[in-house]
Structure 1
Amino acid sequence: MNPVPSRLPLTAGELREAGYQPRSVKAEIRENLLAALREGRNPWPGIVGFDRTVLPQLERALLAGHDFVLLGERGQGKTRLLRTLTGLLDEWTPVIEGAELGEHPLAPITPASRRRAAELGDELPVAWRHRSERYTEKLATPDTSVGDLVGDVDPVKVAQGRSLGDPETIHFGLVPRAHRGIVAVNELPDLAERIQVALLNVMEERDIQVRGYTLRLPLDVLLVATANPEDYTNRGRIITPLKDRFGAEVRTHYPLEVDAEVDLVRQEAELVAEVGDHLLEVLARFVRHLRESASVDQRSGVSARFAVAAAETVAAAALRRAALTGEFPAVARPVDLDSVPDVLRGKLEFEAGEEGREQELLTHLLRRSIADTARTRLAGLDLRSLASAVVDGHPVATGERVAAGDLLAALPELPILHEVAGRLGAGPTDPPGRIASAVELALESLYLTRHLGKDTDEDDRTVYGG
């Protein structure tokens, strides 16, 4: 967090002289979003694949000043999208120093802060809160209570002599403490219906009710939520009065294009070895085939986290091979893709009747993805000379104990190898791992199109031959 700039006003009087005026959080977001759009700045850093679909709807909801729900399957970036909302808040905002809620020094709302403002006047101390502190996130869990969200009577304050009717006996929950900020509720349908009822007044009348008496607080919050469609309609639901109070419902989706899926994986994955774009494309196509498969339960979806975990698994396989062979740097090759179905099968939900066929299905779709990628990346190249060289006495072995240099040394000098490497972004002076990764994709393509055979030898190596 950046330090508080020393030039900012430190009392209510200085704040008033500087021309600061109380402004609602929705007006603040609207003005900052409009400024970003006019200046051509991207208000949604790190959000991939939503430019023409989700983001225009979301921007319209924010400009209208609506609370909203993001509705979509798991792993579509709903929470990530909500967290970027903080970038639309002012970097620093004034609050009453020492106040329990983040109240504006010129517009206090709690009895205690109003009393301090009346006593101190222009000397009311001002602190500055960073926008990162104005975002509150709550995962809806079965044990969530009204006290967690709205507040409850504090028995310690009652024991100190205050009466139960005194509003200063209230211990405020997450929503009041987010005053002048953003409240995000993840998986809103999982909240018990009686807990959802507690949010009705917050969203419409902007007051809170605790233990039988109402405390009129003009709360200023933007309330946003996420929901999964299966929860939305079956296991849990948003109660009708609460749903009616949300001004907008925005439907999210998985990336619509392969390139967007690759960009998302490249952005999110923490790769411990180099993974070329052609291998990320294979994984992106693999995930898309899984989302289209009738054997996979599409109600639960195939999360973008699956593709991210797959890329990290491939990188880890490459790093392990580098440690075993002494290869440097560690560069992933198509053989490393074989580790994905074994490791990540448990992240998928299959339809009933597919028991025992999961591995077969994943292997088939992975091979199909490799073939699609090779067909796209190597279109127009004549690979017959490579196939002939392998068949005519130059079998090529690969595996977790085969270094890139050994793979390349098995082949004679062929012009087509340079063309294949160039198509996949590897130059003649690049490390052997990058060139071997490109050549291995061409070999696998020849195998999948039945121009080469493939077998496993006694050393568990995969051997391409006639």
Structure 2
Amino acid sequence: MRGYNLRLPLDLLVVASANPEDYTNRGRIITPLKDRFGAEIRTHYPLLLDDEIDLIRQEANVQAVIPDHMYDVVARFTTEVRTSSSIDQRSGVSARFAIACTEALSGAALRRAAITGEKDPVARIGDLMGVVPTLRGKVEFDVSEEGREQELLIHLARKATAETWRQLLGGNDIRPVLTSLVEWFDEGNTLQTGDVTPGASLLGELGQFEGLGKLMQTVEPELAESSGLAAACVEFAIEGLWLTRRIDKDAVDGVIRYGAS
């Protein structure tokens, strides 16, 4: 100032984050700044599924009940998106994708509760397909996939659902329960659900299903039983039966109907 050099002993620490690559194709953001920082910390996405789930639980702001199997599906869905060749790997898929997906699931469950009067909103697997369109802005797709973004995300979400289903319901001990479900549909019964179908209504269509307790114990052994959680377990089991081509499914205007194949 006015010809005098002033040196102020500022006790400051500057930390900057960097995307894998910026969106103007000028290269990595950190490169022109690297010589100005004392250190560069390289991070990576969670390598283990449990770590991904822990991160989602820690960061997602949810008001509805998100069952454990839904956390598993979201984590697998995120991994599928990250490893897909149709996604621009230079831009990456951050943890915000999984967090946004979980918060959207919570919002879908809260919306259903507000419409139907349910006291304890619980996210279900059917909610996932409804929130997929909201995630398109979280991902940079390869230019060859233009126009197919939503179709691709739905495919990856179904793939993740099938993986979780096989993990939880692929054992021999639960097979009789699933077989009885398939037989119930083979008898000409149908089950209708949707984004505004209350859990009690879904369970009422199924009737006195003897294997419900076993199903809930297998899918959600840690959570307290409720009609909303029971409906989530049933919907998850039935969706998996459709994904493994053991029953049929029709979806029209947000209404999903399962029946015999």
Q: Smaller-chain TM-score range?
A: 0.7 to 0.9
Q: Which residue of structure 1 aligns with residue 126 of structure 2?
A: 335
CA distance 1:235–1:428, change in 2 (3 Å): closer
Query: 1:390–1:411: 8 Å Cα contact kept in structure 2?
Result: no
Within 1, Cα distance between the matches of 2:21 and 2:205? 53
Q: Separation in 2 of the partners of 1:328 and 1:374?
A: 27
Out of 243, 249, 270, the position equivalent to 2:34 is 243
Specify the alignment match of 1:455 in structure 2: 250
Rate the CA distance shift 1:452–1:222 in 2: closer, same or farther, 3 A.
same
Match of residue 371, structure 1, among 159, 162, 165: 162
**Partner Cα distance (2:224, 2:97) in 1:** 34
Tell me the residue number matched to 1:165. 3
Q: Is the Cα contact below 8 Å between 1:295 and 1:354 reproduced in 2? A: yes
- In structure 2, stretches of 5+ residues that fail to align are none
Matched position secondary structure for 1:414: coil
Counterpart code for 2:259: G
Cα deviation for residue 352 of structure 1 reads 1.0
- Aligned twin of 1:399: 194
Bigger relative contact order, structure 1 or 2, given CA contacts below 8 A and separation 6+? 2
Determine the C-alpha separation between the residues in 2 that align with 1:353 and 1:249: 34
Q: Which ranges in structure 1 are unaligned for 5 or more consecutive residues?
A: 1-152, 154-163, 167-213
Residue pair 2:65, 2:106 contacting (<8 A) in 1 also = yes
Of 24, 27, 30, which residue of structure 2 is paired with 1:234? Answer: 27
Larger mean CA deviation between 254-263 and 216-225 belongs to 216-225
1:389 equivalent to 2:184? Answer yes
Structure 1 residues 277 and 220, CA, compared in 2 at 3 Å: closer, same or farther? same
C-alpha distance in structure 2 between counterparts of 1:299 and 1:418, whole Å:
46
Q: Is the contact made by 2:19 and 2:28 (CA closer than 8 Å) also made in structure 1? A: no
Letter in 1 for 2:53: V
Report whether the alignment pairs 1:287 with 2:125.
no
How far apart, CA to CA, are the structure 1 residues paired with 2:66 and 2:190? 25
Q: Deviations over 1:350-409 (max 9, x none)?
A: 111111111111111000010011111223120111111122133111112311111111
Whether the 8 Å contact between 2:69 and 2:220 is mirrored in structure 1 is no
**Paired residue total:** 254
Matched, 1:316 2:98: no
> Which of the two has greater helix per residue?
2
Answer whether contact 2:109 2:123 (CA < 8 A) is retained: yes
Q: Secondary structure at the match of 1:296?
A: coil
Please state how far the C-alpha of 1:336 moved relative to its aligned partner.
0.7
The residue identity in structure 2 corresponding to 1:425 is: E
1:48-63 correspondence runs (5 A): none
* Partner residue, 2:136: 345
Structure ranking higher in strand proportion? 1
Trace 1:70-109 onto structure 2 (pairs within 5 A).
none
User: 1:87-135 CA deviation, whole Å, 9 max, x = no partner?
Assistant: xxxxxxxxxxxxxxxxxxxxxxxxxxxxxxxxxxxxxxxxxxxxxxxxx
Contact kept in structure 2, 1:313 and 1:339, CA below 8 Å: no
Superposition deviation, residue 274 in structure 1: 1.1
Q: Mark the CA change 1:220 to 1:322 in structure 2 (over 3 Å): closer, same or farther.
A: closer
Task: Go from structure 1 to structure 2 and tell me whether the alpha carbon gap of 1:353 and 1:270 turns closer, same or farther (over 3 Å shift).
Answer: same
Where 1:439 maps in the other structure, the secondary structure is helix
- Structure-2 separation of matches of 1:300 and 1:216: 40
Match of 2:215 among 420, 431, 435: 420
1:438 and 2:229 equivalent? no
